[in-house]
Structure 1
Amino acid sequence: MKLFKQVRHAAIALACGTLLINAHADEQVNGANSKWKVSIGPGVMVTPKYPGSKQYEALPLPSLDISYDDRFFSQGLDVLGVNALKSDAYHVGAALNFDFVSRKESADPRLHGLGNVDAGPKLKVFADYSVSLLTGSVALYQDIGGNGQGMQITTDLAANLPVTDRLLFSFGPGFTWANSVYARTLFGVSPQQSAASGMQAYDARSGVRDIHLNAYTSYDFTKHWSASLLVTAGWLQNFAANSPITERRMEWNGIAAVNYRF
């Protein structure tokens, strides 16, 4: 059971894009019957300045893994969430998620006239299921901040390898679908924007945004201290790849953190 929990936590971290610390070490610190799991520390996220950009930026952020009875949690970019249905093999729930994706005209002279796209909160609805060393997951993200970022659905499959009691590694493929609202806001160029920026008008429509490959690893230095790294390599597709806004079709995203377990 402990090995299964280690594998599953690594898989969810990989598939959902959040940094989680494995449950086995938490049990060592808090006791097997403790309902509270608390792990905090500093983190940094490296991401394109805007979708399709060839320039990157580093954003400092807290790394949180706080949960109660595997029911309520605050983990990674999920500010507050609940597992409405749960077992050792699956979770179904919802969370308030903060998405850092944005686009500022000041980020690149090419963007002048396109207007700004702000980052903001999203409603996340998710489900995951684990069988042996495999975990499948799906998550829907809906913009609730009025920033025009629409809806995205991400599906991932993770293969998990507990190398040692301290070292975990997971990897697997996935893809992201986006609706027309997201496509127009992040990759479309309206006639008005074209006139203001000089960029060719482009009608972006819903479809597969990207296919990607995730890799996640965590290492326990002691029973209290751990480090985690999540890297995603993505290849923009369809409306995202063909947009005149896009400078590079391949994009990298990464999150690294060091955590202390209480």
Structure 2
Amino acid sequence: MPVSLRTFSLSLTSLCLLLPGDSLRAEDWHTTLRAGAASAPRYSGSDERVVAPLVGVEIVSPYGVFLDTSRGLGWGFDEEDFGLSVYVGASDVRKDRKTGFKGSDELNGMGSIKSRPVIGLDGTYHLGPLILGASFEHALEKDDDDHDTGSSWNRLKLSISAPLYEGRFGKVSGGLNSQFGDSNYMRTWYGVSDAQASRSQFRAYKTRTGLISRGADLTWSLPLDKQWSVSTVLAVQYLNHEAADSPIVERRLQTSLAGQVVYTF
């Protein structure tokens, strides 16, 4: 997944990993509603920004089956030291025209990257106060689509996070992460083929498998009562040279800010 609005969905969803283990073991049906807004780059590497609404729903059954608008349909569990979830969802998109909260006219001629099914696997391991995380996504190939924008790809995200403060003003946690992509991922999101170069303002650029970015995030969560809370996430991603050298990248340092109101019942 590129640095985009979807990054916030994952960041806000990962906030639940810092909650006590008992709250994650569903003994009954649990529903979480989220609503807020995010300020983020229009696409990974863009120097244009967009403020977009964030709306999400997560439903968790007593058996670990969940439906989450930020991930999809899946199953998961969380023990005292270890958590694991698998899911099927939809990949992010990138439009080559400014359309609502998506895309940019700067990408005119590059072709739109359409959503396709994604198979995901998330794992966490608690090491004292630290939480080690790994997230893997495999996007299926888009049938009858352009090779430059519809190929299957793989992305891996490794992270480490920890609570920094917990008291009357809520809870603050911080994390570091690194993201890696295979050759298809890098070509899809940062490459420029000869055909794309002929239709756009960019020169051709070939990419390789490797590190996409290194990043950090800071999350503040404030419970209002047993059901209501507010959360804010500040995320920073620094694109590695394989991605940063792409002619579509206008700014290597990508920053995003999101705030949400959360209601759980």
What is the TM-score of this pair, normalised by structure 2?
A: 0.80
Q: Aligned with 1:77: secondary structure?
A: coil
Question: In the alignment, which of 89, 102, 105 is matched to residue 81 of structure 2?
Answer: 89
Match in the other structure for 1:217: 220
Match in the other structure for 1:18: 12
Match in the other structure for 1:238: 241
Question: In the alignment, which of 34, 37, 44 is matched to residue 44 of structure 1?
Answer: 37
Confirm or deny that 1:156 pairs with 2:159: yes
Residues 105 and 114, structure 1, Cα contact 8 Å, conserved in 2: no
How many positions carry a matched residue from both structures? 244
Match in the other structure for 1:135: 131
Aligned-residue Cα RMSD (Å) equals 2.8
1:1-262 to 2 correspondences below 5 Å: 16-19=10-13, 20=15, 34-69=27-62, 71-75=64-68, 77-83=70-76, 86-106=78-98, 107-144=103-140, 146=142, 147-148=150-151, 150-164=153-167, 167-262=170-265
Q: Aligned with 1:204: secondary structure?
A: coil
Residues 9 and 70, structure 2, Cα contact 8 Å, conserved in 1: no
Gaps of 5+ in 1: 1-12
Q: Which amino acid aligns with 2:12?
A: T
Gaps of 5+ in 2: 1-6, 143-149
Shift of 1:45: 3.4
- In structure 2, relative to structure 1, the CA distance for the partners of 1:142 and 1:96 (3 Å cut) is same
What CA deviation, in whole Å up to 9, does each residue of 1:128-158 have, x standing for no partner? Answer: 1112211000001111362436111000000
Q: Which amino acid aligns with 1:74?
A: L
- In structure 2, relative to structure 1, the CA distance for the partners of 1:70 and 1:221 (3 Å cut) is farther
Determine the C-alpha separation between the residues in 1 that align with 2:200 and 2:8.
38
- Structure with more contact order per residue of length (Cα contacts < 8 Å, sep ≥ 6): 1
Runs of 4+ in structure 1 deviating by more than 6 angstroms, as ranges, are none
Q: Aligned with 1:192: secondary structure?
A: helix
* Identity percentage of aligned residues: 23
What CA deviation, in whole Å up to 9, does each residue of 1:100-130 have, x standing for no partner? Answer: 3413244444322221112444211111111
Determine the C-alpha separation between the residues in 1 that align with 2:115 and 2:51.
15
